[in-house]
Amino acid sequence: MPAAAQTGVMPPAGPRDTGASALPGFDTLKTRVDDAVLSDLIGEYRSLRQTRGGEASDDAGAKRGNMLDGLLGTYRSARFRSDAKRAVRDGATSGVTLGKLSDYSTQRAGIGSILRDRFILDTEIGRGGMGVVYSAVDRRRLEAGSAQPYVALKLLNDDFRSNSNALRTLEAEARKAQSLAHPNIATVFDFDRDKAEVFIVMELLTGKPLNRLLATSTGQPMPIGMIAAVLKGICAGLSYAHRNGVIHSDLKPGNIFVGDDRQVKLIDFGLATAGTVDGFDAGELQALTAAYASPEMFEGAPRDPRDDIYALGCIAYQLFMGFHPFAMKPANEAQAQGLVPEPVPDLDPAAWAAILSALHFDRQQRMTTVDAFAAAIFES
């Protein structure tokens, strides 16, 4: 049957309307729907809770009230996270008015949780021996209309939370890290607690940790331009920290962030602790990374900038060669086996001598400053 004679069939769509009547984009439409739904749910649950507040005289009523409180907190968390995503996508806003609703949520340490009535955990972005790292919405930033309302929160694991000596040591180290203001060091904003949760608030970084970049080219050297950018950034940040009396104690590729613009940021300064406090050493809780720890760290010797220089030598070697100088073996094992790193082809003799010095198993024979290492690499 000719198309013109068909019945009950819609006519073909005309040219797409690109004027004011066109539907908004998917992201914009989704945001509007989310806003409407979440605002409605918050209003309904608040109203229901207020209505039943005077009736909750028995256990059943109290349990129902607690359930409503938890749901209200969950919906408020979702609303904050939705607003934060919009701010990142569309830029700074004039701020948000979300009402003065109390947070009744009792859930902690999970996506959607609200800590200190301020930080809303949004996405898990990392997990290690010390705890879990989340991207989190900072309500103060969001309500002020910031274009970047997100921070990073490291929630410490049970081993640290239950050890008062560990907490005192880590808090002291976090406070020292707060004093480090340098473009190659990630900013530490605070060390805080909310009931059973202990967490560190840090700058949220974009890019990739160096260990992931190295994993994409195992056995192959990085491009020389990338090597130069990464090493210069590491040396600049580490030298500044040492001049200010702060030792990293866990320098490794996983604690070095490389941005898309090759900007390098060192993270987790001092969180492996700068020594032993009241019989507690973070090494007992696996805060140290064996493949990058100096022999002296395994012996429990007082921390020293040359511990960081040993790790720097390992990282520099990996950048030039594509693999660890001692096949990821701990320094004490490599020393016992008499391992010697394979020479880096075509590297200036002064630069190679600097790497060998940084990798020396004896602290007294190791290069003493990061500045001397950088000079030998870049000025030779």
Q: Is the dihedral of CA 233, 236, 239, 240 positive or negative?
A: negative
How far, in whole angstroms, is CA 265 from its chain's centroid? Answer: 11
Q: Residue 108 contacts by C-beta under 8 Å, 6 or more apart in sequence?
A: 115, 194, 195, 196, 197
Choose, from 83, 122, 138, 250, the residue flagged as catalytic: 250
Cα–Cα distances (Å) from 271 to 22, 154, 196, 228, 346, in that order, read 53, 11, 20, 27, 37
- DSSP for 330-349 reads -HHHHHHTT--PPPPTT--H
Rounded to 5°, the CA angle 370-154-131 comes to 95
User: Virtual CA dihedral for 223, 225, 227, 232, nearest 10 degrees?
Assistant: 180
**90 assigned to active site:** no
> Which amino acid, one-letter code, is at 213?
L
CA pair distance 86, 95, nearest whole angstrom: 12
Please give the single-letter amino acid code of residue 11. Answer: P
For 338, counting Cβ atoms within 10 Å of its Cβ (0-12 exposed, 13-18 middle, 19+ buried), the class is: exposed
DSSP codes, 54-120: GG--SHHHHHHHHHHHHHHHHHHHHHHHHHHHHHHHH---S--------------SSTT-EETTTEE
**So which residues are the catalytic ones?**
250
